[in-house]
Amino acid sequence: MNLKKLFKVLNYDSISFPFLNFFIFYEDDYLIKSFLKSLKYKWVLDEKNSLIEINKVLNETSKNINKNKSLKTIALFTKAHIYNTFNEDEQMMDMYNEIRQNFCLLPRYLRPFINTGMKNFYSILNTYEVKELRSWSKEYENRSSSKAFKLFAEARKQVNLKNYKKAISLYIKGSEEGKKYPHPTAILIGLDLACQYSLNISNERIFDLSEDLEFYSSFYYENISIIFDNLFTIFEVYKKYNNLNIHKISSLILRNKDKIKSSDYFDKKIYNIQKLYFSKEKKSYKTTKHLSSFLNKFLKINGSFPKNTLKRIINQEVSFIKSYTLKRIIKSYDIKFKTSNPNCINCELIKIDIEDKFSIYSLKKYNLVDLWNNILFTYMSLDEKFFNISDIYKMRDNYSNLINFFSSNYIFMDFFIAVFEPIPFFKARKDLIKLTFNELNIDNFYYLYLNISNTERSLMDGFVRNYSRYKNIKFHFNLIDLFNNYDENNWKEDIEVMADFLELNRIFCYISFWCFEDFERESFLNILNLLNR
């Protein structure tokens, strides 16, 4: 594929993920293929492999001066991005100056791709040894996504001046510009950095910003690796403000940690998250010095819990303390959730919160059809399957049986609560699923979905979400031509059969299919064999 056609797609940044998978699969030019692999690794925050691939391009183009100069410059720009994550300012400066000198030689279609990043590099370097790159056209300046990155560059300058309130305002404004295009990367960069700097100062908008970051991270991206840093920022907000729902974010990240490339950077963050993981299944806990120290302050406070028993626990005369006993202590002294509490205290506070909310939602009267739909959408929004949805489908007309089922343990009760009050991450996923359900043939979907395994359902869930995720983005290139330019399209027939069966748009089914990795695409095609039986 020639670079002009390629960058019409890549200008959408990491939201181009499925197209990148498609190009890597079909591309014959090994240098372009290495460049595309480098981009993909960079997007999933695997800088080591990204650097290996981009160096292949630079080494080859440096040997032959007549070899694609545009590809060399764009590869150098990508390498500068990678070095930015390593905080290698000196190397970045050299690359910045070289790109700036060759910028006027680049074809016009490549300049917007580089310009936004160069402005950000300039603000990061913050030195008189480099000159700022000017916007090259009114078209660039007027594009909302370009405006967003210009605002981010200005925000970075304000950060350097320690004018954090002004910087936060610019990051928010940039995010709003990103929504107009829409440009998901710009939306998340603005919200994420606004949240990060709001953590350091008193900003009453931090909760709204954090909720938006959580929602849009999930609305635009399926791949947890791409949004890991966003999720960690959200985790930090939950942690600082003692939000009890931190257990949902920490569980979400830890369930997906194997999908994230291991590195010192990630391992440190995962370690911090693991310290705030709370089990809902423990029935007893080992007494610790931390717990003793925490409970000691309640000896002088009047409460209904027996003082002698409290002293025995504090002195660690008992090796284990039961869940029931901790709940009595919590209620006796009206203990509130704080991330600094002993883990066992917070585990029981979460259980109490689940019990209270479940008792409220389970007593309400619901339209059973609406309730089933809401249960299904919630089930499809989660990344872990705690039960078989076919069992719920069979009892969907019997409310008493449903409540008995969900009341059987804390995990099931917590699921039932999420049906009515999901955290923003799962609300975004539910919204995407609902959009797809507005189009598809529901009876045919049930036939397919209820006859596959939970592992296969997780793939189908992602497919359904990605379908609406990409249908909600305005692409300024021809999607039909993109998928019709290749002869080896063995996968297309199966996807078209499924699209027609579910009455969905074929093109967006193609895109959703290419959101999967190689092994996932193979597994997904095996699911579709059910339609041929």
pLDDT digits (tens, 9 = 90+) for 190-205: 999 999 999 988 788 9
pLDDT computed for residue 142 by the predictor = 52
Q: Please report which residue ranges of 64-163 form alpha helices under DSSP H.
A: 69-85, 89-102, 111-125, 138-142, 144-160
pLDDT computed for residue 65 by the predictor = 55
| pLDDT score of 309 more than 80 | yes
| pLDDT score of 140 more than 60 | no
* Residues 469 and 432 sit within 8 Å (Cβ to Cβ): yes
pLDDT band at residue 424, thresholds of 50, 70 and 90? Answer: very high
**Using one digit for the tens of pLDDT, what is the confidence trace for 456-506?**
999 999 999 999 999 988 888 888 888 887 656 679 989 999 999 999 999
Place of tokens 């193979």: 522
* DSSP 8-state assignment for residue 304: S
* Residues 410 and 354 sit within 8 Å (Cβ to Cβ): yes
Spacing of C-alpha 152 from chain mean position: 21
- Considering only residues 262 and 414, tell me which one the structure prediction assigns the higher pLDDT: 414
| pLDDT score of 428 more than 50 | yes
- Reported as half-sphere exposure (CB side, CA atoms, 13 A), residue 405 has a value of 18
pLDDT computed for residue 130 by the predictor = 44
Q: Is 463 helix (H, G, I), strand (E, B) or coil?
A: helix
pLDDT computed for residue 294 by the predictor = 97
Lowest mean pLDDT among 4-13, 131-140, 405-414: 131-140
Q: Average pLDDT, stretch 6-13?
A: 85
The residue count of the chain comes to 533
pLDDT computed for residue 183 by the predictor = 87
pLDDT band at residue 233, thresholds of 50, 70 and 90? Answer: very high
Neighbouring C-beta atoms of residue 230, cutoff 10 Å = 22
| pLDDT score of 128 more than 50 | no
- Considering only residues 19 and 142, tell me which one the structure prediction assigns the higher pLDDT: 19
d(CA 527, CA 533): 11
Residue 151 tokens, joined:
């605002």
| pLDDT score of 115 more than 50 | yes
pLDDT computed for residue 94 by the predictor = 80
Calculate the alpha carbon distances from 121 to 82, 103, 135, 325, 486 in Å: 12, 15, 14, 56, 37
| pLDDT score of 141 more than 60 | no
Nearest C-alpha neighbor of 121 from the set 161, 148, 158, 149? 149
Lowest mean pLDDT among 39-43, 99-103, 467-471: 99-103
d(CA 146, CA 399): 52
Please give the single-letter amino acid code of residue 159. Answer: V
pLDDT computed for residue 336 by the predictor = 97
Lowest mean pLDDT among 143-157, 332-346, 387-401, 444-458: 143-157
> What's the mean pLDDT when you consider all of the chain?
89
| pLDDT score of 66 more than 80 | no
Question: Percentage of residues in the chain with pLDDT exceeding 90?
Answer: 67
Residue 52 tokens, joined:
């290996």
pLDDT band at residue 14, thresholds of 50, 70 and 90? Answer: confident
Q: Average pLDDT, stretch 221-240?
A: 95
User: What are the φ/ψ torsions at residue 320 (nearest 5 degrees)?
Assistant: -130, 150
Where residue 410 falls (left for φ over 0; alpha for ψ -120 to 50; beta otherwise) is alpha
d(CA 180, CA 143): 9
* Residues 96 and 122 sit within 8 Å (Cβ to Cβ): yes
d(CA 18, CA 499): 18
Lowest mean pLDDT among 179-183, 254-258, 488-492: 488-492
pLDDT computed for residue 497 by the predictor = 93
Lowest mean pLDDT among 55-64, 228-237, 387-396, 450-459: 55-64
pLDDT computed for residue 295 by the predictor = 97
d(CA 11, CA 39): 12
User: What are the φ/ψ torsions at residue 245 (nearest 5 degrees)?
Assistant: -70, 5
Q: Average pLDDT, stretch 214-234?
A: 95
pLDDT computed for residue 387 by the predictor = 95
- Considering only residues 217 and 85, tell me which one the structure prediction assigns the higher pLDDT: 217
Torsion over CA: 152, 156, 157, 163 (sign): positive
**Using one digit for the tens of pLDDT, what is the confidence trace for 262-307?**
778 889 999 999 999 999 999 999 999 999 999 999 998 999 999 9
pLDDT computed for residue 136 by the predictor = 46
pLDDT computed for residue 73 by the predictor = 86
